[in-house]
């Protein structure tokens, strides 16, 4: 599933073609994704102007010049692609408001299409259909069940060692398990938690309540560094993920532990070997020697 860096990269790719632009045409090629689309989905969006495009945790939020916000989640395999109108020669010049596009590269899995008055076409593809979209009243959005219990953003000022110390106090669960809890910190997933814990040299299995304040300071810095580097690299492409312009992320080439079972630990002065262990049903990659 795309994690915070992937969703933030998608947001950055979509923003130039959606923010401040009016949706001239919206097409829903099926009535549902993971969940049914709102009955008035096309009607509300057609003619609306996207006033802002933000990210909260792993959600994309398109605020409209109407009372609703379009909430989008990529699920396991969802992705957006942007198409610009084809350039026509002098004899086939495109009149204002008339646009021509290259053929759809994946029509079977193209489920939602947004076209702006400026001529951009944004298509949502999702082979597995685990993604979803909804229209939620903007005034009550923070109270919606998807958002009401979310913890702070890991790149925000609200996320610091004090926050983790309070959240971890007296907890016997492993540090990784709690960092994946979206009520403690929003947007982190398996890949980047494994990477951050390795950089901070903290065992993913260590009871969170036993981690010292000094080590929590180090962990916060590691989380921020890993996320920043991943966003700069366009995220990580493992299976279905691609940026909005079709480019693949490349942070996976810089993984230190994730999916590197049996390889030497890259931490300075460590002669350990990366191991894989199931934790709460998910693969945890770590170094048994330097992560304590």
Catalytic residues: 2-3, 58, 282
CA 194 to chain centroid, in Å, comes to 17
Radius of gyration of the chain (CA): 21
The pair of three-digit structure tokens given for residue 125, joined into one six-digit string:
């593809």
Q: Are 73 and 134 in contact (CB under 8 A)?
A: no
Give me the half-sphere count of Cα atoms (radius 13 Å) on the Cβ side of residue 221: 10
- CA distances 169 to 14, 162, 165, Å, are 40, 11, 6
Q: Are 119 and 24 in contact (CB under 8 A)?
A: no
Q: What stretch of H or E contains 179?
A: helix 175-179
């Amino acid at each position: 599933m795309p994690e915070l860096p992937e969703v933030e990269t998608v947001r950055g790719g979509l923003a130039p073609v959606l923010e401040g632009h009016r949706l001239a045409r919206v097409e829903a090629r099926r009535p549902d994704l993971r969940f049914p689309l709102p009955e008035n989905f096309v009607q509300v969006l057609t003619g609306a102007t996207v006033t802002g495009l933000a990210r909260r945790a792993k959600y994309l939020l398109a605020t409209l010049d109407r009372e609703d916000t379009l909430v989008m989640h990529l699920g396991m395999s969802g992705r957006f692609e942007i198409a610009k109108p084809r350039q026509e020669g002098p004899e086939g010049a495109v009149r204002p408001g008339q646009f021509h596009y290259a053929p759809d590269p994946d029509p079977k899995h193209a489920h939602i299409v947004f076209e702006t008055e400026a001529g951009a076409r944004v298509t949502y593809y999702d082979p597995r259909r685990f993604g979803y979209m909804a229209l939620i009243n903007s005034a009550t959005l923070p109270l919606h069940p998807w958002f009401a219990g979310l913890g702070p953003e890991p790149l925000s000022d609200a996320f610091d060692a004090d926050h983790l110390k309070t959240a971890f106090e007296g907890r016997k669960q492993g540090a990784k398990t709690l960092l994946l809890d979206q009520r403690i910190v929003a947007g982190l997933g398996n890949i980047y938690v494994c990477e951050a814990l390795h950089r901070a040299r903290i065992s993913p299995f260590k009871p969170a309540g036993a981690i010292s304040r000094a080590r929590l300071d180090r962990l916060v810095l590691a989380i921020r560094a890993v996320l920043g580097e991943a966003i700069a690299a366009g995220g990580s492409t493992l299976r279905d993920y691609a940026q909005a312009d079709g480019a693949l992320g490349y942070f996976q080439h810089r993984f230190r532990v994730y999916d590197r079972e049996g390889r030497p630990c890259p931490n300075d002065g460590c002669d350990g070997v990366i191991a894989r262990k199931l934790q709460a049903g998910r693969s945890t990659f770590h170094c048994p020697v330097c992560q304590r």
